[in-house]
């Protein structure tokens, strides 16, 4: 991330020195010792993170924070202060600070925050890809259900109908919403996402509609809500089923009147926004239980798109898996890898409760951790739930298809022999047998959750023999059943 920039704003030279030394190997560092210089730098640069002291000369840190968060590409701002008060903390977070730390702070605390931001930014970057590439990445799937969804997205491109997207977590609801926006006449305007459960209930109204200065404790300035920010474009209300009932009524009014009112204001603001909502909940059941307004449901459900879980479109798994390999090889600067035929069978035998997101995450981890150029089933064993149907199915496959299992072993032995051929072949039999036995015992212990009685039954050996092998190979067990 050496091309990303960090700004450190503090008039204490020791703080600036420590943070700079900690971060300069990974980031480009700018510094400022007063608020005026900080604002000038923020106005002319795009910062990944800003470390900002509250008490600084000329312009205080809270004003600098407000300026930074109004920009088109706001930075992640970490507030630093020696005054650990609740008012400061609440005020900073309401103004949009990413986090709030008190002096003196630990180096590990800074590293932890940076790592957390990097993970979140990585996820955002995966979504904020170019329109063309994005559509290519979304339009993956030859299953009949997905083809119908693609047709629906096309039909929605020339109108402004409200859309309700239903589906389990990880099925790609936000991706479909973005595809609808990108293909629409609003594509040049903002696409604003509101993840309903992530916003505290007491702040959600302000988040959606904005607020006036002084309308509640901590509201130190007027702020536009997400609807105003999305004006002319599309607002995506994710997990709409988690919205409180009282706020559902206000949202219904916005849809009907096409106007919003800031909290603390009686003055309506006209907005032109396409609404796309999504949920993994059964809204019809929630209506019966009086947890969701029926009138709002029908306002949102003008066009309904239901995304199938991955277990219902397993024919798409090979296409998706190979797409993710190509995509992640490019993102992670790694060589492309191949999926062995037995690996595809393994992946298709698994139900993927986390859906497409789980598949992508599994591919990412294997791409990083696996040394081989061909991805084998065992590369996924520690990632995919081995107590689920996948391990049972692959075990049955191994029993019924000996050649496949032999291919796996033969492939690994060939790779090993190729690596050591130039340094002499001594004790190959002993090395391979002992290594294989150790790995087999380790993997069986993982599957059996370190229950030695269960592990010995799975291996077909008695418990005393298993204990001797564990000691012989110095196998470390966590929370083992001894």
How far apart, in whole angstroms, are the C-alpha atoms of residue 200 and residue 206?
A: 10
pLDDT at position 298 is 95
Shared domain for 84 and 231, answered yes or no, is: no
142 & 278 share domain? yes
Residue 451 lies in a domain: no
Structural contact between residues 475 and 445, judged by C-beta atoms closer than 8 angstroms: yes
Looking at the fold, whether 276 and 137 belong to one and the same domain comes out as: yes
**Assessment of whether the complete model's pTM goes beyond 0.75:** no
Q: Return the CATH number at 364.
A: 1.10.8.60
Phi, psi of 31 (to 5 degrees): -135, 155
Domain shared by 336 and 231, yes or no: no
Q: Do 208 and 169 have their domain in common?
A: yes
- Residue 233 resides in a domain: yes
What's the pLDDT at 429?
A: 82
Where residue 186 sits, what CATH number does that domain have? 3.40.50.300
* 148 and 256 belong to one structural domain: yes
Residue 268 in domain: yes
463 found inside a domain: no
Enumerate the β-bridge partners of residue 375.
Answer: 339
**337-375 in b/e burial notation, b at 16+ Cβ within 10 A?**
bebbebbbbbbbbbbbebbbebbbebbbebbeebeeeeb
Q: What is the pLDDT of residue 136?
A: 47
- Looking at the DSSP bridge assignments, the partners of residue 276 are 163, 236
Does residue 72 form part of some domain? yes
What is the domain count for the chain?
3
* DSSP β-ladder status, 210-211 and 259-261: unpaired
Q: Cα 149 to chain center, whole Å?
A: 23
The CATH number of residue 82's host domain is 3.40.50.2300
Question: Strand 274-279 relative to strand 163-166: parallel, antiparallel, unpaired?
Answer: parallel
Q: How far are the Cα atoms of 56, 75, 192 from residue 98, in angstroms, in the given order? A: 19, 9, 18
- Structural domain boundaries enclosing 407: 313-425
Within-domain flag for 138: yes
Q: Strands 259-261 and 268-270: what pairing?
A: antiparallel
Q: What is the pLDDT of residue 481?
A: 42
The answer to whether position 435 is within a domain reads no
Please say whether the beta carbons of 338 and 374 come within 8 A.
Answer: yes
pLDDT at residue 399 in the model: 45
Tokens of 144: 């009949």
pLDDT in the model for residue 128:
43
Q: Same structural domain for residues 221 and 299?
A: yes
- Domain check: are 325 and 276 in the same one? no
Q: Is there a single domain that holds both residue 253 and residue 139? A: yes
Q: Report residue 343 as tokens.
A: 């690996």
CB atoms closer than 10 angstroms to residue 245? 11
Last residue of a domain, one of 382, 408, 425: 425
Q: Give yes or no: residues 115 and 43 share one domain.
A: yes
Pairing between β-strand 163-166 and β-strand 303-306 as defined by DSSP bridges: parallel
Tokens representing 157?
């491109």
Task: Please tell me the distance from the alpha carbon of residue 140 to that of residue 126, in angstroms, as a whole number.
Answer: 16
Last residue of a domain, one of 308, 336, 370: 308
Pairing of strands 223-224, 210-211: antiparallel
What pLDDT, on the 0 to 100 scale, is given for residue 9? 93
CA distances from 392 to 313, 458, 478 (A): 20, 12, 24
Q: What is the pLDDT of residue 263?
A: 84
pLDDT 10s digits, 61-105 = 888 988 888 876 678 899 887 765 445 656 676 678 888 787 778
User: CB–CB of 276/237 below 8 Å?
Assistant: yes
For every one of its 482 residues, what pLDDT tens digit does the chain have, with 9 covering 90 and above?
556 889 999 988 889 999 998 888 888 999 999 999 999 999 888 888 999 988 899 898 888 988 888 876 678 899 887 765 445 656 676 678 888 787 778 888 888 888 888 877 654 544 443 444 444 445 567 777 887 888 888 888 778 999 999 999 989 899 899 889 988 889 889 999 998 888 887 788 888 998 888 777 667 787 888 999 999 999 999 999 999 999 999 999 999 999 998 888 878 899 999 999 999 999 999 999 999 999 999 999 999 999 999 999 988 899 899 989 988 888 888 888 999 988 898 898 888 988 998 998 899 989 988 888 889 888 888 777 544 444 444 444 444 444 456 666 777 777 777 666 665 666 788 888 888 888 888 888 887 778 888 888 888 888 888 888 898 888 886 544 44
pLDDT of 422: 62
295 with 320, same domain: the answer is no
Burial of 457 (0-12, 13-18, 19+ CB in 10 A): middle
Domain end call among 84, 100, 127: 127
**Does 443 reside within a domain?**
no
| Co-location of 33 and 136 in the same domain | no
């Amino acid at each position: 991330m050496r091309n990303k920039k960090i700004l450190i704003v503090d008039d204490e030279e020791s703080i600036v020195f420590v943070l700079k030394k900690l971060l300069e190997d990974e980031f480009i560092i700018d510094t400022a010792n007063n608020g005026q210089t900080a604002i000038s730098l923020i106005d002319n640069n795009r910062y990944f993170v800003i470390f900002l002291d509250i008490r600084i000369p000329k312009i205080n840190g809270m004003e600098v924070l407000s300026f930074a968060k109004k920009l088109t590409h706001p930075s992640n701002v970490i507030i630093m202060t020696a005054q650990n008060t609740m008012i400061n903390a609440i005020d900073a977070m309401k103004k949009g600070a990413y986090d709030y730390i008190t002096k003196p702070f630990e180096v590990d605390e800074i590293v932890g925050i940076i790592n957390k931001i990097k993970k979140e930014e990585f996820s955002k970057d995966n979504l904020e890809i170019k329109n063309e590439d994005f559509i290519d990445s979304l339009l993956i799937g030859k299953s009949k259900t997905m083809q119908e969804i693609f047709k629906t997205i096309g039909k929605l491109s020339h109108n402004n109908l409200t859309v309700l997207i239903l589906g389990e977590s990880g099925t790609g609801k936000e991706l479909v919403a973005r595809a609808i926006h990108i293909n629409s006449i609003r594509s040049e305007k903002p696409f604003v996402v509101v993840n309903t459960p992530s916003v505290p209930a007491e702040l959600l109204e302000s988040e959606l509609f904005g607020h006036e200065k002084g309308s509640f404790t901590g509201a130190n300035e007027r702020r536009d809500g997400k609807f105003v920010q999305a004006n002319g474009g599309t607002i995506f209300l994710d997990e709409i089923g988690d919205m409180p009932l009282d706020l559902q009524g206000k949202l219904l009014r916005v849809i009907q009147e096409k106007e919003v009112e800031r909290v603390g204001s009686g003055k309506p603001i006209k907005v032109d926004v396409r609404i796309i909502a999504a949920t993994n909940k059964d809204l019809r059941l929630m209506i019966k239980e009086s947890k969701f307004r029926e009138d709002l449901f029908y306002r949102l459900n003008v066009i309904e798109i239901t995304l199938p879980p991955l277990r219902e479109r397993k024919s798409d798994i090979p296409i998706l898996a190979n797409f993710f390999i190509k995509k992640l090889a490019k993102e992670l600067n790694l060589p492309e890898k191949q999926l062995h035929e037995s690996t595809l069978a393994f992946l298709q035998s698994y139900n993927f409760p986390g859906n497409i997101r789980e598949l992508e995450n599994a591919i990412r981890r294997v791409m990083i951790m696996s040394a081989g150029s061909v991805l084998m089933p065992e590369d996924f064993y520690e990632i995919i739930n081995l107590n689920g149907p996948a391990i049972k199915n692959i075990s049955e496959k191994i029993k019924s298809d000996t050649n496949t299992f032999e291919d796996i072993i033969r492939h690994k032995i060939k790779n090993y022999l190729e690596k050591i051929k130039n340094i002499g072949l001594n004790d190959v039999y002993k090395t391979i047998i002992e290594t294989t036995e150790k790995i087999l015992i380790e993997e069986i212990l993982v599957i059996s959750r370190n229950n030695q009685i269960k592990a010995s039954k799975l291996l077909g050996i008695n418990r005393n023999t298993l204990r001797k092998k564990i000691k012989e190979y110095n196998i470390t067990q966590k929370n083992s059943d001894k």
